[in-house]
C-alpha cells in the first residue's frame, strides 16, 4: 500500500529526518513489477535498511523499501549448499541462520547492518572476508525493460566496497534476491585479521566462535545506530600506488599501510582523519566518533546537509595535510 508524506527518520541509520512524498514497502517481486509499471517516467528510488545512505533533502518521488523475505536451499552436495535469499531479509539474520545450520562462509560478516539485497552493491566486507567469496549470482529487475535479469559473479565487477551495481548499473536495476554458496563441515575459517586472532586466543576456530568474536569486537568499537545515528565507515580506505605512498611516508613516518596486490597499498582512512584532528571532535550536531574517527555521527538533530558539510571539511583537511583524496563510501541520496 502506498503511503504519502512519510518521515524517513526510522528508515536510515543516520536518523536524518526527511520526508518522502510517496512510500511503499515491497514484499514480493510481482508487487515490485506492477508498482514499477505504475511509476514509469515518475521518480523513485530504492532503500534496504538505510544503513549506507546519507539523505540530504526531502524527496518528491516514491521511496521503495525492500521487505521481501525468504531463505531457500536450492542445491546441496556433501560439501556445500547453494542458498537463495530474498532481498528484504536482514543480513545479520541470514548470518545467524547460517550459524544455526552450521554453514560456513559469512561468519566474519556478522552484525553488518542492512538488507541482503544491498549486500552486493558495495560487496560488503569485514575482518578479511568479502561477500564475493561466497556469492554465486543475483536476480534483478531491469528498470528500463521491467524484465528479470540474472547476474553471475563474473559479471558483477566486485572490488573493494564496489560492484557494477554501484557504478555502471547504478539506478538501472533493483536486486530482488541473491544466491550464495556456503560450506558444510569441515569449515575453513579466516582468522588472520589481527583483532580477530587476539579475540580467538585459546578458543576453537568454529564458525560460531568466529562470529561471536566478530560481534564482540564490533560492539566494543562501533557505535550502535539505535543509540547514535551513523552509517558505519563514511569513507573508503584509500588505495595508493607504492610510489605515491613512499613520498607521503617520507613526511609521515608512522603512517600505517597494508599491501594491496604487489604495486599498491591501502591506508586506513580512520588514521588519516584522526591525524587531521577530527577524532571525537563535535561540530554542532555532527562529529567523528570517539573510538573510530571514520564513523561520522549524528548527535541527534543533524540534517543531511550538516553531515555532508562536515564530511567535505574532513576531505579538505586530509587532502591538504596528506595529499590523499578521500572517497565517500556512503551513498548520497
Ligand atoms: C554501524 C555500521 C557498521 C557497518 N559496517 C560495515 C562493514 O563492516 N562492512 C561493510 O561493507 N559495510 C558496513 N556498513 C554499511 C552497510 O551496512 C552496508 O553497506 C549494507 O550492505 C547496506 O545495506 P542497506 O540495506 O542498509 O542499504 P541501504 O543503505 O538501504 O542502500 C545502500 C545503497 O544501495 C541501494 N540499494 C539498496 N537496496 C537495493 C536493492 N535491493 N537493489 C538495488 N539497489 C539497492 C540504495 O539505493 C543505496 O544506494 C555498516 C553500516 C553501519 C551503520
Q: Which domain, by its residues, includes 173?
A: 71-221
Sign of the dihedral through C-alpha 39, 40, 43, 45: positive
- Is 329 one of the annotated active-site residues of the chain? yes
Tell whether 85 and 209 lie within a shared domain. Answer: yes
Number of domains in the chain: 3
Q: Are residues 208 and 287 in the same domain?
A: no
55 with 8: CB under 8 angstroms? yes
CA of 294: how far to CAs of 222, 231, 297, in Å?
Answer: 10, 10, 10
pLDDT of residue 137: 98
Q: Which of 221, 254, 271 represents a domain boundary (last residue)?
A: 221
Lookup: cell for 160? 573493494
The reply to whether 77 and 210 lie within a common domain is yes
The residue annotated as part of the active site, out of 161, 163, 231, 276, is 161
**Active-site hit among 20, 24, 51, 233:** 233
Mean pLDDT by 10 residues, the chain (333 residues): 96 98 98 96 97 98 98 98 98 98 98 98 96 98 97 97 97 98 96 92 97 97 95 97 94 93 94 97 96 96 97 98 96 95
| CATH number of the domain to which 61 belongs | 3.30.43.10
> Cα–Cα distance between 274 and 287 in angstroms, integer?
12
Domain boundary among 33, 48, 66: 66
Q: Which of 193, 221, 249 is the last residue of a domain?
A: 221
> Could you tell me if 217 and 79 lie in one domain?
yes
Give the pLDDT of residue 1.
87
Shared domain check, 204 and 298: no
What pTM does this model have?
0.97
Query: Please, are residues 296 and 311 in contact by the beta-carbon 8 Å criterion?
Result: yes
- Exposed/middle/buried for residue 194 (C-beta within 10 Å: 0-12, 13-18, 19+): exposed
Is 286 touching ligand 1 by the criterion CB < 6 Å? Answer: no
Matching residue, cell 538488507 = 115
Among 31, 55, 112, residue to substitute to test ligand 1 (most atoms within 8 Å of Cβ): 112
Neighbours of 295 (CB within 10 A): 23
Pair 90, 179 in one domain: yes
62 shares its domain with 88: no
Contact 235, 326 (CB under 8 A): yes
3-state DSSP assignment of residue 315: helix
Amino acid at each position: 500500500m502506498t503511503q504519502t508524506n512519510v518521515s524517513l527518520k526510522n528508515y536510515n541509520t543516520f536518523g536524518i529526518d526527511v520526508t518522502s512524498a510517496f512510500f511503499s514497502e515491497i514484499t514480493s517481486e510481482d508487487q515490485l513489477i506492477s508498482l514499477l509499471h505504475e511509476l514509469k517516467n515518475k521518480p523513485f528510488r530504492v532503500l534496504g535498511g538505510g544503513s549506507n545512505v546519507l539523505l540530504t533533502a526531502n524527496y518528491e518521488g516514491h521511496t521503495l523499501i525492500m521487505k521481501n523475505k525468504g531463505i531457500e536451499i536450492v542445491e546441496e552436495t556433501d560439501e556445500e549448499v547453494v542458498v537463495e535469499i530474498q532481498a528484504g531479509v536482514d543480513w545479520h539474520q541470514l548470518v545467524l541462520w547460517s550459524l544455526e545450520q552450521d554453514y560456513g562462509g559469512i561468519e566474519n560478516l556478522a552484525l553488518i547492518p542492512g538488507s541482503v539485497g544491498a549486500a552486493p552493491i558495495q560487496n560488503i566486507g569485514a575482518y578479511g572476508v568479502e561477500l564475493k567469496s561466497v556469492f554465486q549470482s543475483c536476480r534483478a529487475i531491469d528498470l528500463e525493460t521491467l524484465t528479470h535479469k540474472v547476474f553471475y559473479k563474473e559479471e558483477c565487477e566486485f572490488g573493494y566496497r564496489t560492484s557494477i551495481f554501484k557504478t555502471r548499473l547504478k539506478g538501472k536495476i533493483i536486486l530482488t534476491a541473491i544466491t550464495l554458496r556456503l560450506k558444510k563441515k569441515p569449515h575453513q575459517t579466516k582468522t588472520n585479521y589481527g583483532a580477530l586472532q587476539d579475540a580467538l586466543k585459546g578458543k576453537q576456530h568454529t564458525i560460531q566462535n568466529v562470529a561471536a568474536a566478530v560481534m564482540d569486537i564490533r560492539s566494543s568499537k562501533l557505535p550502535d545506530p539505535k543509540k547514535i545515528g551513523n552509517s558505519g565507515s563514511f569513507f573508503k580506505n584509500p588505495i595508493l600506488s607504492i610510489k605515491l605512498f613512499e613520498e607521503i611516508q617520507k613526511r609521515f613516518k608512522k603512517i600505517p599501510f597494508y599491501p594491496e596486490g604487489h604495486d599498491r597499498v591501502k591506508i586506513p582512512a580512520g588514521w588519516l582523519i584522526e591525524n587531521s584532528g577530527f577524532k571525537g571532535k563535535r561540530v554542532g550536531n555532527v562529529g567523528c566518533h570517539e573510538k573510530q574517527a571514520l564513523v561520522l555521527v549524528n548527535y541527534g538533530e543533524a540534517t543531511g546537509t550538516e553531515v555532508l558539510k562536515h564530511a567535505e571539511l574532513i576531505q579538505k583537511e586530509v587532502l591538504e595535510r596528506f595529499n590523499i583524496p578521500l572517497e565517500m563510501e556512503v551513498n548520497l541520496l
